[in-house]
Amino acid sequence: MKIWAVGLVILLISAFVATVATAEVTIEYSPKKPKAGDTVKFYVNTTGDVESVKLWIEECKGNQCFMPKTIDMDSSGTGYFTAEYQLRDDTTSVHYKVTVTFQNGGTTETEMEEFEVEPKAPSNGGTSNGKTPGYGLILAMISIPLVIVARRRFVR
């Protein structure tokens, strides 16, 4: 009787390990080249009887990374999960990974991945072509009185 119980335990453990070991998890995100401040949508596709999927995400600005956040992903069909995340306006890169919890109690975690974030578009509508608007007008306003003062002083 004891041998039968040990055999059953070994069978259950091997089934558990096989279920977790063969679970495939793929992660995608959109847009592929997000800008700072954009909303990024994450898509997870996994196999097995999934109980929950959590997205771990960490934003960085240069070498400084902010506190990571964990988001519960929403099921959008069998094995498909989605989540949306709003990036900060000063984000330059994002690290992320996914933890999948199965109904049998097992979990699997993906390797941490990273993507770069493009800088946010200029707040003037993107028409400055890399130049700060308004300074030409300020210089013209300063130079007009200088020219008038210089003419009065040197014309006499």
How far is residue 80 CA from its own chain's centroid? 19
For the chain, what percent of residues have pLDDT higher than 70? 76
**What is the band of 20 on the pLDDT scale with cuts at 50, 70, 90?**
very low
CA pair distance 15, 7, nearest whole angstrom = 12
CA pair distance 115, 125, nearest whole angstrom = 26
Helix residue ranges, H only, the chain: 2-22, 135-155
Tokens in use for 77? 């069909």
pTM over the 0.85 mark: no
pLDDT digits (tens, 9 = 90+) for 32-62: 999 999 999 999 999 888 999 999 999 999 9
CA pair distance 42, 116, nearest whole angstrom = 15
